[in-house]
Amino acid sequence: MLAGAQFELERELAQYRAANAITAVLALIEIGLAVAAVAQIVAPTLRNNPPQIFAAAPETVEDTPFVTAVPGSIPSPGAGPAFAEGVDIPGLEDELNLAPFATPTLTPTPVGTIIPDVPPAVGCDTPNARLIIPANGMIVFEATTVVGSANTENFAFYRFELNGPATNNVWRLLSEYTAPVVEGELGQIVPSLFIPGEYRFRLRVFDITNTLQASCAITIIISPPIPTPTPIRES
């Protein structure tokens, strides 16, 4: 009986080993088939159609950094998602009300001292003949560049004229120019050539028929040159 029992045990062990061997062989066959399928089907498909990766876009304001408006400055619409159209940000309207929404355009400021209560400018309300420097009532005592406009249709020339103590209070021609100026330097006046006093200075614009088309007359005060301080030498 012992011999029979030993024989049955050995037979069962042999059958178990055989079954394991068959299972291993089948598993290896399945792995080989899977590798072949990947090499023949999946890999060429991936090479021809590579997968595309898309970054997830934030869907709500909470997903993005919040930008706070600083009083005194206007946030740019492109400064961040917090300023996107349709996004309601509490308190933002109050902060924007503190910011300046328009910057005034700077205008040319006449140089020199202006004397009040002088006769008003005459005819200077047209862009065809306009004086910016000197301004009406301005004190001049050194060579001054005249700035303004002198232009008209069929332009021919413009003139500077002066009327005052040095001209026996009649209009005298100072200089004449043949190039129109929309806005810029018109020429120069030299006050040191005339005795001090109150004068009328005039710009006149003519066309090709020598017809006066525009005129601007202002008052200027010619004063003696300001003396240069002399350094005091120590003895």
- Domain segments of the chain: what residues? 53-103, 129-222
Written as tens digits, the pLDDT of the chain (235 aa) is 545 545 666 777 677 777 777 877 787 887 877 777 666 765 566 566 555 555 554 554 444 454 444 444 444 444 444 444 444 555 555 555 554 545 444 444 445 789 989 999 999 999 999 999 999 999 999 999 999 999 999 999 999 999 999 999 999 999 999 999 999 999 999 999 999 999 999 999 999 999 999 999 999 999 987 776 666 666 5
pTM exceeds cut of 0.75? no
Q: What pLDDT sits at residue 9?
A: 64
Cα–Cα distance for residue pair 204/181, rounded to 1 Å = 13
Beta strand residue intervals within the chain, DSSP E: 129-133, 138-140, 144-150, 155-163, 172-177, 181-189, 197-207, 212-222
Tell me which residue has tokens 């006149």. Answer: 204
Roughly how many angstroms between the first and final C-alpha of the chain, as a whole number?
149
Cα–Cα distance for residue pair 74/43, rounded to 1 Å = 55
Tell me which residue has tokens 């890999």. Answer: 43
| Contact (Cβ atoms closer than 8 angstroms) between residue 216 and residue 131 | yes
**Superfamily designation of domain 129-222:** Immunoglobulins (2.60.40.10)
Tell me which residue has tokens 């930008």. Answer: 67
Q: What pLDDT sits at residue 225?
A: 79
| Amino acid at site 199 | Y
Phi, psi of 173 (to 5 degrees): -75, 130
Q: What pLDDT sits at residue 88?
A: 55
